[in-house]
Amino acid sequence: MGNIVREHLLEVRDLRVSFDTHAGEIQAVRGVSFHLDEKETLAIVGESGCGKSVTVQTIMKLISVPYARLKSGVILYRGKDVGHLSDKEMESYRGREFSMIFQDSMSGLNPTMRVGTQIRESVMQRRDISREGAGKRAMEMLAQVGLPNPERIYRRYAHTMSGGQRQRVMIAMALSCNPKILFADEPTTALDVTLQAQILDLLNELKGRFGVATVLITHDLGVVAKMADRIAVMYAGKVVEYGDAEQIFYRPSHPYTWGLLSAMPNLKQPRKSELYTIVGMPPDLFAPPPGCAFTARCSYAMEVCRKEEPPEFFCGEGHASACWLLDERAEEALPPPGIPRLVREESVNGR
């Protein structure tokens, strides 16, 4: 499966990022690999502090340099290494090839500039286009993101707008130069459910219209189910399971994924019954444990989990999980109720 060398739109291999603090090194990202193809949506799911945002910020070169360090790893965009570009070289990628929207729409927009002007300026910076042309483009984008009365919105300032409107403006700005990849870092976390639904619908619609591939970072599995073609589940700085949406939701094979899925209350469960939980909390990446980082919280932990990091085991086309339970020597594990039994593929481990 892995033998066929195919050029992906974006490929990240063994990315490692550390933060240097006075007390020592915090290993925020500890060997993350994934890829993204044209026009697809990849969701990176995980709890806060699992390294999902750092991963994306590293690709966008947005991490603060003196404290954060890209230790190793390759970032390939259309086969070209973009991991070690200078800031100036990266500048030509940002906006035109990669674009990003944030959770906090206020900090993504300049409060002293009219939002239309802001979009116009960012278009002019990245494209050889006249002022009028850029202005027209900005207006067109504001209409594209479903803002009523774009002429009026064009002249407004970010702080006079509501959260939902600002998020739309940010999306308009991000897509104004037709980027190939859109990184969306928790784009709806700060919004209420009804606004979240609107923004997600909009993102799905624009994805089709602009043909942009999306990397969606979120902790909300509901959002993932709605948006993602493929999913990478991250835990403690590593991808522990990846696969397409059906595989992850209907045939998950990592106990952490089981836990995430079961911890959400569902309609079949009687009210006030005990919810399935993952005990404890993620490890401090200041001193990550040897072996599998999930061991301390895993109800299926074995001796081996403490000793050795699990390799990737393939459990289906494009579906892999880093868990020793998939080794043929492990005894069978019974997943929590509602999760189908583990299917072990014949294929040997991945690498």
- Residues 161-190 touching other proteins, rule: CB under 8 A, are 162, 164-165
Instruction: Enumerate residues 32-71 that contact other proteins by CB under 8 A.
Output: 47-49, 64
Any contact of residue 346 with other proteins (CB under 8 A)?
A: no
Provide, rounded to whole angstroms, the least separation between the CB of residue 265 and other proteins: 4
User: Given candidates 38, 72, 211, 222, which one binds other proteins under the rule CB under 8 A?
Assistant: 222
Position 225 contacts other proteins (CB under 8 A)? yes
Using CB atoms within 10 A of its CB, is residue 296 exposed (0-12), middle (13-18) or buried (19+)? middle
The reply on whether position 348 binds other proteins by CB under 8 A is: no
φ, ψ of residue 222 in degrees (nearest 5)? -65, -45
Give the integer Cα–Cα distance in Å for 62 and 90. 10
Smallest distance, Å, CB 113 to other proteins? Answer: 22
Among 194, 208, 268, 346, binds other proteins (CB under 8 A): 194
Stretch that binds other proteins, among 54-62, 76-84, 169-177, 279-287 (CB under 8 A): 279-287
Task: Candidates 7, 151, 264, 317: give the one binding other proteins (CB under 8 A).
Answer: 264
The whole-angstrom distance between residue 153's C-alpha and the CA centroid of its chain comes to: 30
Distance CA 149, CA 310 (A): 55
* Closer of 83 and 289 to other proteins (Cβ): 289
Crossing angle for the helix pair 131-144 and 115-126, to the nearest 10 degrees = 120
DSSP 93-117: TBTTTEEEE-S-HHHHS-TTSBHHH
269 scored as a contact of other proteins (CB under 8 A): yes
Nearer to other proteins, 177 or 191 (CB): 191
Smallest gap from Cβ 164 to other proteins, in A, equals 5
Give the shortest CB-275-to-other proteins separation in angstroms. 4
* 291 vs 307: CA distance, rounded Å: 5
Q: Which of residues 323-342 bind other proteins (CB under 8 A)?
A: 324, 327, 329-331
302 scored as a contact of other proteins (CB under 8 A): yes
Q: Is 121 exposed, middle or buried (0-12, 13-18, 19+ CB in 10 A)?
A: middle
Q: Least separation, in Å, of the C-beta of 45 and other proteins?
A: 9
Q: 3-state class of 28 per DSSP?
A: strand
Within positions 93 to 152, which residues make up the interface with other proteins, using CB under 8 A? none
Contact between 195 and other proteins by CB under 8 A: the answer reads: yes
What is the residue type of 27?
A: Q
Residue with tokens 């003196």: 66
Tokens of 14: 């063994």
SS3 142: helix
Region binding other proteins by CB under 8 A among candidate stretches 91-99, 102-110, 117-125, 257-265: 257-265
Q: Assess 237 for contact with other proteins (CB under 8 A).
A: no
